[in-house]
């Protein structure tokens, strides 16, 4: 997380001033950040999931993970092989549910 914080707050990588250019290596650095963040999320699930449940934070963790996976897929930021270790969780959280039949109540 320290490495990610250092990269994200580096003005040469993420400029905040108008007219300042992003570096040519920006896409590579963003992919590196995503890889680090994925590893952090995988570690939390593997080593600390019981604690997230005990603190009633697992729903937030699942939402964070789902948004992260959708984001990295949308912008092709990680090779699917790099995230395959979490494929079961990804499938469970990111696969849309089938449509439910509608119960129509008729008035008498």
13 in a domain, yes or no? no
63 in a domain, yes or no? yes
- Domain, as residue range, for 40: 25-93
pLDDT band at 95 (very low <50, low <70, confident <90, very high): confident
- Output the pLDDT for position 103: 75
7 in a domain, yes or no? no
What's the total number of domains in the chain?
Answer: 1
Kindly give the residue spans of alpha helices, DSSP state H, lying in 75-99. Answer: 80-83, 87-94
Render pLDDT for 76-89 as a digit per residue (tens, 0 to 9).
999 999 999 999 99
Q: What percent of the chain has pLDDT over 70?
A: 95
84 in a domain, yes or no? yes
What is this structure's pTM? 0.83
Sign of CA dihedral 80, 56, 5, 47: negative
- The answer, yes or no, to whether residue 56 has pLDDT greater than 90, is yes
- Output the pLDDT for position 106: 63
Question: For the chain, how far is it from start to end, CA to CA, in angstroms?
Answer: 62
- The C-alpha atoms of residue 32 and residue 25 are separated, in whole angstroms, by 11
- Among left, alpha and beta (phi > 0; psi -120 to 50; other), residue 78 is beta
């Amino acid at each position: 997380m320290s490495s990610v914080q250092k990269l994200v707050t580096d003005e040469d990588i993420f400029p905040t001033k108008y007219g300042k250019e992003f570096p040519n290596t920006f896409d590579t650095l963003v992919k590196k950040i995503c890889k680090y963040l994925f590893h952090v999320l995988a570690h939390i699930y593997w080593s600390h999931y019981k604690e997230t449940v005990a603190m009633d934070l697992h729903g937030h963790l699942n939402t964070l993970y789902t948004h992260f996976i959708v984001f990295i897929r949308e912008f092709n930021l990680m090779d699917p092989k790099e995230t395959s270790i979490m494929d079961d969780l990804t499938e469970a959280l990111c696969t849309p549910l089938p449509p439910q039949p509608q119960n129509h109540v008729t008035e008498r």
